[in-house]
Structures are given as structure tokens and as C-alpha cells.
Amino acid sequence: MWDRIEHNGYEIWVLPVLAYGPPAPDTLWHYTAYFCRHGADAHLAGQSTRFQEMVTTFRSEDEARDAGYAEGHRLVDLLPVVGPRTSAATHTAR
């Protein structure tokens, strides 16, 4: 199932996917993901940026999800700042 977090005005969506076969105790995982501006229609061309990891394997669904979020954070942080950015995770009141 797709999961979402918000970071610097963007939504990061991650879907852990099985590397092979049905789930088993030793099943490995990959992820597919995308990020988009908050409230964008991610299904329209140009509204989202997709990324995935289908070479590296992760030992659990949670590990794959966390890796997808980490890569999404990294990619969003590389974008040029065009307006004020705030992140629910890093915003502090003054």
C-alpha cells in the first residue's frame, strides 16, 4: 500500500514491492516512489517526479519504505527553492 509523508512543501509517496515471489520470512523488497507538490494531481504529466530502487534489496517492507523516504527527502532537498519552504518534521516555532 502507498504511504505518504510531507517534506518541504512536497508529498513523498512510497510503495514497497516484493523483489520476487509471494511473501515469505526471507523475502526481499524494493520500492517505487514519487514526489510532487502538496495537492498536485500526480497522475498528470509533469506534476510528479518518479524514482525507484529495483537493484538494491531490503530485508523488510519497512526498510524499503524508509529507504524510499530517505531518497525522496534527498531529491526534494536538491530542488531549487522557489518560495518559502517549511517541513512538519523540521519546522520549529520561534
Q: Is the pLDDT of residue 88 over 80?
A: no
Stretch 12-41: mean pLDDT:
90
For 16, list phi and psi in degrees, rounded to 5.
-70, 140
pLDDT on residue 90: 37
Give SS3 for 5: strand
**The predicted structure's pLDDT at residue 42:** 81
Q: Using a pLDDT cut of 90, give the percent of the chain over it.
A: 65
Instruction: Name the residue ranges covered by the structural domains of the chain.
Output: 3-78
Question: Which residues are paired to 31 by β-bridges?
Answer: 16, 53
